[in-house]
Amino acid sequence: MKRFALSLVLLTTLGSGLAIAAPSKKVKAVAPPPPIVEEQEPAPPNDVLEPLNRATFALNDGIDMVIVNPLVTLWNGIMPTFVRTGVGNFFNNLDDVYVGINHVLQGNGSAAGADFQRVAVNTTVGIGGLFDVGAKMGLHKVDGDFGQTLGAWGLPTGPYLILPLIGPSTFRETTGRFARIATDPRSYLDPVPSYSLMGLEYLQTRADGKANEGLIAASSLDRYVFVRNLYLQKRALMVKAAREKTSSAASAN
């Protein structure tokens, strides 16, 4: 009796399975999807200054709405694409010097070599950095900054921090930013050209990021948290990559 019941069930199950499967030509091996392995829950972000950060975040939104967005729209509207690309390339070329310096500080000689090669090619063939000839030669721009170097050296991230105008940062990245400003030759120009150049770079950076900002605003429920997570993920990845290079360089010595 038991056996009969079992085989009956078996038969009907198989039968119905076949009946369902028959119309579609491609019958796939049906295996139950594996259960989701709960990775250990990531540690909550270090955001002890959240109330202050949220206030600065809102302030930045206000500044964006009143000043930055109209300027970006104007900039995108009056400047032809090739000019905007040229301006972007020009500042990227300046930045590549710092990327190279940081790769040296991180003990990543090969990356530094590529960075300086980019600067050399783009400054000469690329007419002062207006054209990114390096990228066309397969030398793509990579990330590198003082905050990353400090991280590679073992300095912890520290609390998350929203900077006025600039946006997401951390204590460590802010320290790196100061190092950059202190070593930037533009800081030692007269105020008018100095601020104009920095303002132009800021505008260009913001114009570049516009599409992503729109996508983040459209897809997030709490934009503050969403942006914080994306930013911290990105910084952690950059530091991890640099750390791996630094330790492999150290062990090679």
Partner 1 sequence: MQHFIGHLARGLSLAGSVAALAFMLGFSHAQAETVAPDELVRKLAAEMTAAVRADPELQTPGSLKISDFVQKNIVPRFDFERVTQIAMGRNWAKANPSEQKQIITEFGRLLTRTYSNAIATLKDLEVEVKSTRVITANVDVTVKTQMIGRPQPVAIDYGLINGPGGWKVYDVTVEGISLVAAYRDEFGGLVSSSGVSGLIEALKKKNGG
Helix (H/G/I), strand (E/B), else coil: 182? helix
212: CB partners within 8 A, 6+ apart: none
Least distance to partner 1 from the beta carbon of 133, Å? 12
Least distance to partner 1 from the beta carbon of 253, Å? 28
Q: Given the complex with partner 1, which of 202 and 226 has the nearer CB atom?
A: 226
The torsion of the CA quartet 197, 145, 170, 203, rounded to 10 degrees, works out to 20
Structure tokens belonging to residue 72: 């970006």
Q: Given the complex with partner 1, which of 17 and 70 has the nearer CB atom?
A: 17
Q: Which residue has the tokens 């729209």?
A: 73
- Pairing outcome for strands 160-163 and 167-170: antiparallel
Q: Given the complex with partner 1, which of 196 and 233 has the nearer CB atom?
A: 233
Containing 169, the helix (H) or strand (E) segment is strand 167-170
Q: Given the complex with partner 1, which of 1 and 252 has the nearer CB atom?
A: 1
Structure tokens belonging to residue 27: 């019958």
Containing 160, the helix (H) or strand (E) segment is strand 160-163
Do 105 and 250 touch, CB atoms closer than 8 A?
no
Task: Using CB under 8 A, list all residues that contact partner 1.
Answer: 2, 5-6, 9-10, 13-14, 17, 21, 26-34, 36, 38, 41-42, 45, 132, 135, 140-141, 215, 218-222, 225-226, 228-230, 233-234, 237
Q: Given the complex with partner 1, which of 192 and 221 has the nearer CB atom?
A: 221
Least distance to partner 1 from the beta carbon of 216, Å? 9
> CA–CA separation, 23 vs 183, rounded Å?
70
Least distance to partner 1 from the beta carbon of 89, Å? 9
Q: Given the complex with partner 1, which of 4 and 188 has the nearer CB atom?
A: 4
Least distance to partner 1 from the beta carbon of 14, Å? 5
Least distance to partner 1 from the beta carbon of 7, Å? 9
Q: In terms of C-beta density within 10 A (0-12 exposed, 13-18 middle, 19 or more buried), how is residue 100 classed?
A: buried
Q: Given the complex with partner 1, which of 187 and 212 has the nearer CB atom?
A: 212
Least distance to partner 1 from the beta carbon of 20, Å? 11
Of 149, 171, 174, nearest to 159 by C-alpha is: 171
